[in-house]
Amino acid sequence: MDSATDLFTSYESDFKLLFTDISQRLHDLPTLTGESRKASIRSTERSIDEADEIIGQMSLEINNIPSASKTKPRGRLRNYTSDLDSARGQLVKLAQSADRDALLGVRGAQMGASDQTMQQRQQLLGGTQSLERSSARLRDSERIAIETEQIGAGILGDLSTQRESIVRTHDTLNDSERYLDRSIKTLRGMARRMATNRMITIAIITVLVLLIFAVIFSKFH
């Protein structure tokens, strides 16, 4: 598994955890009233926005995943997008219902200053955590970009080395071909000289034999 797939899986895990929290908040919202309900709606809105950011990061990372492995992650991403859109629509309906309840005077705003302070603190903590997660994702994206650049540089270096090796091999083959041509010419010359020497040897032997017969014939006459 490559770095892009690992990062996509990490974002996917973050989304699942966050969407589980969103689903639970939507489930609990109808039981809340007044300022508690409004605070929960605002918190859920922020969570949905954060989940939308994660989906955006997942969409970017799919482009870095090898083509052969994109089909399944792309299908899951479509499902996550559809689920998040459905959750956003459900939240809008609950928010509209809360607005109608506020207009009808259902319990009104009864939270004290201490509750507001706690709510603001929770909002700040949530914003800080969201910022930290976004910063971590940016660092991961930068790390993957650097790793990709290093891999590309390594591949270019390997290609350059292979090209030089191929050129050297081609030159060696050309030299070998020239040496082979010279060897063939030398062997042919040696073969011609051997044939000539053989004919000379046969001629000498023939002359010697004739001389011997001539000497023998002269002795008997």
Q: Is the pLDDT at 108 greater than 60, yes or no? A: no
**CA neighbor of 53 nearest in space, from 125, 133, 108:** 133
- In terms of Cβ atoms closer than 10 Å to its own Cβ (0-12, 13-18, 19+), residue 41 is buried
Give CB contacts under 8 A, 24+ apart, made by 132-139: 133/14, 133/50, 134/53, 137/11, 137/54, 137/57
What is the radius of gyration, based on Cα positions, of the chain? 45
Q: How far is CA 144 from CA 69, 137, 172, 210, 214, in A?
A: 18, 11, 42, 97, 103
> Rounded to a whole number, what is the distance in angstroms from the first to the last CA of the chain?
109
pTM of the predicted protein model: 0.46
- Find which of 17-31, 100-114, 161-175 is predicted with most confidence, using mean pLDDT: 17-31
Confidence bin at 34 (pLDDT 50/70/90) = confident
For the domain made up of 3-111, the CATH class stated in words is mainly alpha
What's the one-letter identity of residue 63?
N
Confidence bin at 167 (pLDDT 50/70/90) = confident
Percent of the chain beyond pLDDT 90? 33
**CA neighbor of 188 nearest in space, from 180, 176, 178, 199:** 180
Q: Is the pLDDT at 13 greater than 80, yes or no? A: yes
Q: What is the DSSP letter of 112?
A: -
Q: If DSSP codes are grouped into helix, strand and coil, which group holds residue 105?
A: coil
What's the one-letter identity of residue 92?
V
100 contact partners, CB below 8 Å, separation of at least 6: none
